Amino acid sequence: MASESSGGQPTTNRNSQRYLLVRFITKDAVTTKVIEQTVRRSVEDMVGKLGSAEMNVRFIGFQEADGRAVFRCKSGSVERLRAALALVTHVDGNPAAAMVLRSSGTIKALKVRIPRRRRSAA
Amino acid sequence: MRAYADLHLSPSLDDVANARSMADLLVELQTRVVGLVVPPQRLTPTPPIVDSFKSAGIDVAKRLNLKPSSREELLRSLRRFRSKYEIVSVECRVPSVSRVAVRDRRVDLVYFPKQQLGSIFRGNLAKSCRAALEFNLSELTSGPDFGAGLRRLRREIEVAAEGSTTVIGCTRASNLFELRSPRDVAAILHLLGLPLSAAVRAVSDVPLEIVEKNRLRMAEPGLEDGIRVLRRSADDE
């Protein structure tokens, strides 16, 4: 019982995850919601809805001040997420670029303080 | 730590502010060498943006993009400019140019623009290709038909793999918004069918080797691949 994770699965049974630190370069300031939607759309354009579900991409947070965001995905899907991010050319109708600065197995190793997005109570 | 290269940047040669912001970002992305498109008429004096990249710690290799419409024009341009540039690339718009460009040892890179109908990298070209095939990310991100672009690049990479042709990945960025991390370009190449190790080499070792080889050639015009100067006689020095 002690070895069970918060998700209810034993630690040994959990899927391996990777965290990506992504830098967004935009002309105007953008909100967290817009960034999340843009990446979701780009992933779906690239691999479709089924592929997107398999990648299990989770948006962790976004720092508006310096345009850095953290995403999480399945460890086997890092290349697909990198490719989808590289294909982002516009955010909210304005030219933009997204590039992965670092990839890590733990969020701690990224050494950034990104405000975690709260899950809605619904 | 692996060093990366982006051998195709084409910013405005007079816009120093743009170059400086690009250089800062490239440093953050661990890019060590960039290929800067410099037309022959701007070769001397050195454009001011070269200093912007160099002051940020980025090595700049001058690149010439040849767009010949015939075989004769290509050969004439190569004779005239090869010794002045670290990177020479040829845009293969017509089959007669493609056939010569892929075989000529003076050509470092070939690329096949998607707008041209006769511009296709076929198996017969791949077998005799001595130059590296260049993949430009901007080919994929610009233009209306993303699906067709993906299909075309996938086919090119398949053909290159069959003919053991070297592939390199570039961005062809002219401003900050067109820049991408070389490792992300490698991820796209991997998704298009290149093995991951080859894709990472396509943005790191292969372009770095091309620049190094050509610098050696420019410094010692008599030397060929695999020949090194061990010592010189006192008369030479």
- Tell me how far apart the alpha carbons of residues A71 and A48 are, in angstroms, rounded to a whole number: 18
Write out chain A residues lying below 8 Å of B137, CB-based. Answer: 86
- Indicate whether A44 belongs to any domain: yes
Q: How many domains does chain B have?
A: 1
Residue whose structure tokens are 């396509």? B202
- Indicate whether B234 belongs to any domain: no
Which contacts qualify for B137-143: CB closer than 8 Å, 24 or more apart?
B137/A86, B137/B169, B137/B170, B137/B171, B137/B172, B137/B180, B137/B185, B137/B188, B138/B171, B138/B172, B138/B173, B138/B178, B139/B113, B139/B114, B139/B172, B140/A87, B140/B188, B141/A87, B141/A89, B141/B178, B143/B114
CATH of the domain at A92: 3.30.70.3250
Measured between CB atoms, does A114 come within 8 Å of chain B?
A: no
- Which of B86, B115, B82, B112 lies closest to B97, judged by CA? B112
The SS3 assignment for B94 reads coil
- Indicate whether A122 belongs to any domain: no
Quick: pLDDT tens for A22-71: 999 998 888 999 999 999 999 999 899 999 999 999 999 999 888 999 99
Residue whose structure tokens are 């953050």? B28
C-beta of residue B185 within 8 angstroms of C-beta of residue A86: yes
In chain A, % of residues over pLDDT 90: 61
- Indicate whether B102 belongs to any domain: yes
- Indicate whether A117 belongs to any domain: no
CATH of the domain at B210: 3.20.20.140
- Tell me how far apart the alpha carbons of residues B18 and B15 are, in angstroms, rounded to a whole number: 6
- Tell me how far apart the alpha carbons of residues B30 and B135 are, in angstroms, rounded to a whole number: 20
- Indicate whether B151 belongs to any domain: yes
Torsion (CA) B26, B29, B30, B35 in degrees, nearest 10: -40
Write out chain A residues lying below 8 Å of B146, CB-based. Answer: 45
Nearest residue of A to residue B141 by CA position?
A87
What value does the mean pLDDT take over residues A3-20? 72
pLDDT of amino acid B117: 67
- Indicate whether A91 belongs to any domain: yes
**Minimal CA separation from B72 to chain A, in Å:** 38
For residue A120, the 8-state DSSP code is P
Measured between CB atoms, does A86 come within 8 Å of chain B?
A: yes
What value does the mean pLDDT take over residues A95-101? 94
- Indicate whether A3 belongs to any domain: no
pLDDT of amino acid B227: 75
- Tell me how far apart the alpha carbons of residues B139 and B149 are, in angstroms, rounded to a whole number: 7
Nearest residue of B to residue A94 by CA position?
B177
- Indicate whether B117 belongs to any domain: yes
Q: How many residues does chain B have?
A: 237
Write out chain A residues lying below 8 Å of B191, CB-based. Answer: 46, 79-80, 83
- Indicate whether A55 belongs to any domain: yes
Using the beta-carbon criterion (under 8 Å), do A23 and B177 form an inter-chain contact?
no
- Indicate whether A22 belongs to any domain: yes
Using the beta-carbon criterion (under 8 Å), do A85 and B183 form an inter-chain contact?
no
Closest CB to B183 among A25, A95, A100:
A100
C-beta of residue B180 within 8 angstroms of C-beta of residue B171: yes
pLDDT of amino acid A2: 44
- Indicate whether A48 belongs to any domain: yes
Task: Give CA angle at A72 (A67, A73), nearest 5°.
Answer: 135
Structural domain containing residue A85: 15-104
Q: How many domains does chain A have?
A: 1
- From first to last of its 237 residues, chain B has per-residue pLDDT tens of 889 999 999 999 999 999 999 999 999 999 999 999 999 999 888 899 999 999 999 999 999 999 999 999 999 999 999 999 999 999 998 889 999 999 999 999 999 987 766 678 888 888 889 999 999 998 888 877 788 888 888 999 999 998 899 999 999 999 999 999 999 999 999 999 999 999 999 999 999 999 998 998 888 777 766 777 788 887 766
Structural domain containing residue B153: 64-217
pLDDT of amino acid B235: 73
pLDDT of amino acid B225: 67
pLDDT band of residue A4 (cuts 50, 70, 90) is very low
Exposure b/e, A88-112, CB count within 10 A at least 16 = b: bbebeeeebbbbbbebeeebeebeb
What ipTM, to 2 d.p.?
0.86
For residue B40, the 8-state DSSP code is G
